[in-house]
């Protein structure tokens, strides 16, 4: 086997560990317009994402959850990235993020900003779903008001 092996430091970038240890927007909202429970049955990762959408804008977002560092950091970073954005901008971020994770050798578009730190996860195939859980939950929350659930397919 003659390929360069992905290194642990590609996966656990400092920014990821920082979000894991100091999660942003952790908690619940008073009056969320959408709430999504995301679950990955393979590894037991859980996130609960709450959105307050007014008109076309994600006014506020919060999350709770437990799981591995990648799942929780990705969720924290997602909340930071979409807070205050329009639904269309968030949808575009979701698409760019998923492209980045599944094509870890492509150039990262500038709109992803800090989220670039999660690019290395794409080189660890078994961890991709850890990173995408929050984004699938967000996608569901943009589509559907009220409470809903998603389960990662393995």
Partner 1 sequence: MFDVVSVRKDFPILQRQVHGRPLVYLDNAATTQKPRQVLDALMYYYENTNANIHRSNHTLGGEATDAYEAVRDKVARFIGSKYGPQSIVFTRNTTEAINLVANAWGRKFLNAGDEIVLTISEHHSNMIPWQLIAREKGAQLRYIDVDDEGRLRRDELAEVIGPKTKMVAVAHASNVLGINPVAEITALAHQHGALVLLDAAQSVPHMPVDVSALDCDFLAFSGHKMCGPTGAGVLYARPELLDAMPPFLGGGSMISRVQLEEATWADVPSKFEAGTPDIADVVGLGAAVEYLEALGMENVRAHEKDVTGYALERLSSLPEVKIYGPMNVEERIGVVSFNYGDIHPHDVGQVVDSFGVAIRGAHHCAQPLMRRLDCAATARASFYVYNTKAEIDVLVEALQEAGRYFKVEQAPVAR
Q: Which of 17, 88, 95, 151 binds partner 1 (CB under 8 A)?
A: 17
Q: What's the rounded Cα separation, in Å, for the pair 132 and 47?
A: 11
Spatial neighbors of 90 by CB under 8 A, at least 6 apart, are: 58, 82, 138, 142
User: Which listed range, 2-10, 80-88, 98-106, 109-117, lies at the site for partner 1 (CB under 8 A)?
Assistant: 2-10
Q: Which of 3, 8, 27, 154 binds partner 1 (CB under 8 A)?
A: 8
DSSP conformation class of 17: H
**x/- string (CB under 8 A) for partner 1, residues 47-86?**
-----------------x-xxxxx----------------
Q: What's the rounded Cα separation, in Å, for the pair 4 and 10?
A: 12
What is the total count of residues that contact partner 1 (CB under 8 A)? 24
Establish if 127 lies at the interface with partner 1 (CB under 8 A).
yes
Q: Which of 99, 124, 140, 148 binds partner 1 (CB under 8 A)?
A: 124
Q: Name which of 23 and 58 has its Cβ closer to partner 1.
A: 23
Tell me phi and psi for residue 64, to 5 degrees.
-130, 165
β-strands 45-54, 146-151 pairing = unpaired
């Amino acid at each position: 086997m003659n390929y360069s092996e992905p290194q642990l430091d590609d996966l656990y970038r400092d920014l990821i560990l920082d979000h894991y240890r100091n999660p942003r927007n952790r908690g619940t909202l008073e009056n969320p317009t959408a709430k999504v429970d995301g679950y990955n049955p393979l590894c037991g990762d859980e996130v609960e994402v709450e959105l307050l959408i007014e008109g076309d804008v994600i006014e506020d977002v919060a999350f709770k959850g437990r799981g591995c560092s990648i799942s929780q950091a990705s969720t924290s970073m997602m909340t930071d990235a979409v807070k205050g954005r329009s639904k269309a901008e968030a949808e575009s971020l979701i698409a760019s993020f998923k492209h980045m994770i599944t094509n870890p050798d492509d150039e990262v578009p500038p709109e992803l900003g800090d989220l670039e730190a999660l690019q290395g996860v794409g080189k660890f195939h078994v961890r991709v779903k850890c990173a995408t859980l929050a984004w699938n939950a967000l996608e569901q929350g943009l589509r559907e008001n009220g409470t809903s659930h998603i389960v990662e397919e393995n």
